[in-house]
């Protein structure tokens, strides 16, 4: 645990001093703000609750933020040669992966908490109508599913960054995996297999956020997200071991 903490601490500090991280966070908050504003305006008087609008507008941009934040984790170390120093230290691959993953996840959690201030703190002060409708528990449920999704995106991004020494290439590949692939698979299925439309209605990740924010919990989906994150981290740890052996 000491080594995981040491790696987490260094990586988190590096995030705060990295210009690209600041730009990514600012862009994420701006994109979220715009989406949330548009959704609020478009759903005035509708039955949609504010926590669902918040959850959906964050979930849309979460894969993008996670992809950009995680690209530097290993690719920067490979480009600078620091990976050699890390690998010659008495640390296990899983400790390195855990420390790095947790640092990116910490940044995503911080970003999520910043976005939460809008519906929980700013809006109630601006509108008495909203004040009556805000439930902290409902937000906690939406936050839970967003954290699970963020864990998957961060784990996938950590794995991708291991295979590139060029950060731009890692970011592009990670974006493709986190955003492009699920969407492409879903739309392909919907387009070419009409019979599956009813069964596949649960597939869009935004629907999970909506369900959780309205109190429709699903242990199955929670396990799916957890298992996916653990799978990506496991593959990352084993790939790091292979990388060490191959040089």
Partner 1 sequence: MLEVERITFSYGRRRVVDDVSFDIAPGEIVALTGPNGAGKTTLVKVLACLLMQEAGLVRLDEVDPLMRPVKYRRLIGYLSERCPLYDEMTVDEYITYRVRLKGERNLRVRRRVSESLEMCGLGDVAAMRIRLLSQGYRKRVGLAEAVALHPRLLLLDDLLAGIDAGQRKKTAALLSAASSRSAILVTGHELHELLPWCTRFLVMSQGRLVASLRSGEHDRAELLRLLETHMAGNIAEGAEV
Choice between 92 and 129, CB closer to partner 1: 92
One of 31, 91, 200, 224 touching partner 1 (CB under 8 A): 91
Report if residue 132 touches partner 1, rule: CB under 8 A: no
Report if residue 82 touches partner 1, rule: CB under 8 A: yes
Residue with tokens 């590949």: 173
Q: Which stretch binds partner 1 (CB under 8 A): 24-32, 88-96, 106-114, 129-137?
A: 88-96
Find, among 226, 7, 181, 209, the residue nearest to 104 by Cα. 7
Choice between 78 and 208, CB closer to partner 1: 78
Choice between 95 and 211, CB closer to partner 1: 95
Q: CA-based angle 120:121:127, to the nearest 5?
A: 90
Report if residue 166 touches partner 1, rule: CB under 8 A: no
Phi, psi of 179, deg, nearest 5: -105, -50
| Calpha distance 177→220 (Å, rounded) | 23
Phi, psi of 214, deg, nearest 5: -100, 10
8 Å CB contact between 97 and 156:
no
8 Å CB contact between 106 and 12:
yes
Choice between 165 and 228, CB closer to partner 1: 165
| Other beta carbons less than 10 A from residue 126's beta carbon | 10
Q: Which of residues 3-22 bind partner 1 (CB under 8 A)?
A: 3, 6-7, 10, 14, 17
Choice between 198 and 245, CB closer to partner 1: 245
Residues 17-46 as x/- pattern, contact with partner 1 by CB under 8 A: x-----------------------------
Residue with tokens 């409902």: 138
8 Å CB contact between 97 and 3:
no
3-state secondary structure of 134: coil
Smallest separation, CB 87 to partner 1 (Å): 6
Report if residue 87 touches partner 1, rule: CB under 8 A: yes
Name the residues that contact partner 1, by CB under 8 A.
Answer: 2-3, 6-7, 10, 14, 17, 80-82, 84-92, 244-245, 247
């Amino acid at each position: 645990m000491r080594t995981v903490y040491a790696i987490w601490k260094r990586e988190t500090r590096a995030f705060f001093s990295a210009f690209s991280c600041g730009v990514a966070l600012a862009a994420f908050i701006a994109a979220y703000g715009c989406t949330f504003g548009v959704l609020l305006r478009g759903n005035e008087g509708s039955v949609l609750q504010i926590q669902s609008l918040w959850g959906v507008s964050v979930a849309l941009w979460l894969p993008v933020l996670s992809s950009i934040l995680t690209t530097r984790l290993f690719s920067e170390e490979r480009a600078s040669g620091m990976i050699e120093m890390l690998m010659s230290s008495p640390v296990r691959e899983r400790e390195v992966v855990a420390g790095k993953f947790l640092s990116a996840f910490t940044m995503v959690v911080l970003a999520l908490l910043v976005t939460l201030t809008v519906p929980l703190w700013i809006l109630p002060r601006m509108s008495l109508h909203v004040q009556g409708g805000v439930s902290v528990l409902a937000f906690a449920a939406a936050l839970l599913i967003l954290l699970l999704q963020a864990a998957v995106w961060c784990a996938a991004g950590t794995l991708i960054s291991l295979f590139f020494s060029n950060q731009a290439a890692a970011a592009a590949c990670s974006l493709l995996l986190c955003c492009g692939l699920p969407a492409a698979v879903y739309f392909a299925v919907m387009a070419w297999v009409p019979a599956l439309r009813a069964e596949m209605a649960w597939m869009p990740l935004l629907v999970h956020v909506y369900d959780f924010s309205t109190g429709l919990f699903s242990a199955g989906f929670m396990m799916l997200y957890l298992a996916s994150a653990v799978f990506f981290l496991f593959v990352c740890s084993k790939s790091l071991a292979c990388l060490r052996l191959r040089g």
